[in-house]
Amino acid sequence: MPIITLVNETELGRVLDKRDTVLVDFWAPWCPPCKEFVPVFEAAAARHPDITFCRVNTEEAGDLAQAFDVVSIPTLVAIRERIMIASQPGSLPEHVLEDLITKIKGLDMDELRREMAAAAEGDQES
């Protein structure tokens, strides 16, 4: 599956409606580490057709970057079943990205939702 370029939250919403796991690379054209990360991201996209890979140019889609609290680039955001699983700044080496993907795929989402609900209940009691 090709890498999808996103420019707004509506486009991201459409992707999330159709796909279970989404990785989003926030980048800018002037950023050297962003350029270094491109081949790593593209290679992972080729190896993992079950995951949707997206890119967001922060120069063109600042609102989307702001919605994810991106403060440095590149930043990789992992979303599974509409839950943000990870936000990792910096250019990741291939083995680190593969490790992250393995962890994302191995998550027990029902358990994660239970933990999130328990944490939310604890916050309400405080």
Active site residues: 31, 34
Look at the block and give the residue holding tokens 């328990």: 118
Phi-psi region of 98 (alpha: psi -120 to 50; beta: other; left: phi over 0): alpha
Tell me the residue type at 1.
M
**Please, which residues have CB within 8 angstroms of residue 47's CB and are 6 or more apart in sequence?**
none
* Angle between helix 32-47 and helix 94-106 axes, rounded to 10 deg: 50
Tell me the residue type at 42.
E
